Structure 1
Amino acid sequence: MPKFCANLTWLFNELDFLDRFEAAKEAGFDAVEVLFPYDVNAQDIVDALGRYELRMALMNCPPPNYTGGPQGYAAVPGLDERFKKDFGRAIRYAETLGATHLHIMSGVAEGTEAKETFINNLRWAAAEAPAQSLTIEPINNETMPGYFLNDFDLGREIVEAIDAPNLRLQFDTFHAAKITGDVMGTWDAMRDITAHVQVAQMSGRGEPDQGQIDFPAFFALLDAQGYAGWVSGEYKPRATTTEGLGWLAGP
């Protein structure tokens, strides 16, 4: 089976945030991801990671805007300086937490200028933090209307245009199913540029068990192809998280 990690923004949220690390370890996870950890003292997270011998697999960039603004704007024309400033804060947090990957969100935008802005900002970020693995994630427009990076072929085009060793794709099965309707085929087309995988079922974005996506087959495919990265459970538990973890044991 692949190496599984737990998204603590979505899982174990019946518990206080810092208690989720212990719950993840007890459930058998060796790594976690947190989408926006910035409102928690970084040292508290570092202590929890160390106490339960967990890795921080991924976090998002930029930090959320607490005045109601967008969470991502790397592709939004005119916000280049804001992106660079907030990227600096995100990198400091990622380094403190030892985050394997930092996911850069494109934000809501469209058109040629947005594409150029996204490429320029990503090229700058990859050079600014050459030791940090960066990812971009295609997100379907139903979940996030107007999101610029809403297509896997566009994701490949951008990764290849920048051609930086520390920039790769983030593959989410839920978004792949929404965008293409073919999770297995999309994975085969994108696996060579993919650094991180997230899983949730269709429909409802629940546990990766019963539903439209054949997860036992998907996990077997990852194993057969030698995928060595993390596979994160990023889904909405039907009940408590622990009650829905049967999928970890495999078929």
Structure 2
Amino acid sequence: MPQFAANLSLMYTELPFLERFAAAARDGFAAVECQFPYAFAPAELAARLADNGLAMVLLNAPPSGSDRASMATAWEQQARGTAALPGREAEFRRGVQEALEYAEALQCPRIHVLSGMVPAGVERESLKGLCVDNLRWAAALAAQSGREVLIEPINLRDMPRYFLNRQDHAHELLDAAQMDNLKVQMDLYHCQIVEGDVASKLRRYLPTGRVSHLQVAGVPERQEPDRGELHYPYLFDLIDSLGYAGWVGCEYRPAAGTSEGLGWLERTQSGH
């Protein structure tokens, strides 16, 4: 059975953020992930992890910002990353440095960096070299503390004009960067919306060792995995059969209360 991490940015939103750690632990999660922790001091988050016996397995680098305050509000200001945006290299580097400081304090082994939206009138392909250079720099810095940098294809329905959308495009960036600790974050929700054929994508990419983190949600509403058009019991069995030993992040928006919607997890754990 895959090992699941609760995404504290989308799950348990009925509670204040700092109370979500204890709720996840009560529901049996051993690990958590979050999108943007920058509104909270690293020491405060580390204490919540320790108090509840949780591991932080993934966090996002800031989507923009030059200081912690602006990083904490950047997502709400519609920022979606800077890795592929011309003229934003210094901002990108500052964000990666901040993310790695949090990762060090929280003993988190990997950070996800966002690419950004393709500017109007610009061809995506023209940004590829810049993105590769930024990713190579980030991976080199992360390697100094033994951490990984992840990139994630995201669907264009949820995030129009986002630079990175397809699994093959992500692996092309890895081929170009040639950094061993630069990996792919494969969200099956996004994969299904953009290209489908999810089982074949898992069979193709998991054996490469270049997928360091999986995420799941129901399609199309991004609710619990037992809602929607993907048959997750089959996919979880397939993930096991392919020998994937990493975490599966539960990055979904519960249809009602988070704990009440975890029947899918109980069934997965019991083999039903």
Instruction: Give the secondary-structure state (helix, strand or coil) at the position aligned to 1:134.
Output: strand
Answering whether residue 224 of structure 2 is matched by residue 207 of structure 1, we say yes
Question: Comparing 107-116 with 75-84, which one deviates more in the overlay?
Answer: 107-116
Q: Which runs of 5+ in 1 are unaligned?
A: none
Report the CA distance between 1:63 and its aligned residue.
5.0
The aligned amino acid for 2:79 is P
The aligned amino acid for 2:174 is V
Identify which of 74, 87, 95 aligns with 1:78.
Answer: 87
Instruction: Give the secondary-structure state (helix, strand or coil) at the position aligned to 1:123.
Output: helix
TM-score normalised per structure 2:
0.89
State the partner residue of 1:57. Answer: 57
CA distance in 2, matches of 1:239, 1:69: 26
Report the CA distance between 1:190 and its aligned residue.
2.1
| CA deviation map 1:188-217 (0-9, x unaligned) | 222222100000011211100132111011
CA distance in 2, matches of 1:227, 1:141: 27
State the partner residue of 2:168. Answer: 153
- The answer to whether the 8 A contact 1:77-1:113 is kept is no
State the partner residue of 1:32. Answer: 32
CA distance in 2, matches of 1:118, 1:69: 20
Runs (4+) of structure 1 moved beyond 3 Å? 63-67
State the partner residue of 1:44. Answer: 44
| CA deviation map 1:82-141 (0-9, x unaligned) | 111221111111111111210010011243331111100001111112111111000011
Report the CA distance between 1:151 and its aligned residue.
1.5
- The answer to whether the 8 A contact 2:64-2:82 is kept is no
State the partner residue of 2:186. Answer: 171
Q: Which runs of 5+ in 2 are unaligned?
A: 66-72
Provide the identity percentage. 42
- The answer to whether the 8 A contact 2:151-2:185 is kept is yes
Answering whether residue 134 of structure 2 is matched by residue 121 of structure 1, we say yes
- The answer to whether the 8 A contact 1:32-1:55 is kept is yes
Identify which of 137, 140, 149 aligns with 2:155.
Answer: 140
Instruction: Give the secondary-structure state (helix, strand or coil) at the position aligned to 2:262.
Output: helix
The aligned amino acid for 2:105 is T
| CA deviation map 1:160-200 (0-9, x unaligned) | 21121111100101101011122111222222221000000
State the partner residue of 2:239. Answer: 222
Question: Comparing 149-158 with 69-78, which one deviates more in the overlay?
Answer: 69-78
- The answer to whether the 8 A contact 1:11-1:236 is kept is yes
CA distance in 2, matches of 1:113, 1:15: 43
Aligned residues: 251
CA distance in 2, matches of 1:15, 1:64: 26
TM-score normalised per structure 1:
0.96
The aligned amino acid for 1:96 is A
Change in Cα spacing, 1:221 to 1:16, as seen in structure 2 (3 Å) is same
| CA deviation map 1:14-55 (0-9, x unaligned) | 011111111101111000001000011211110000011100
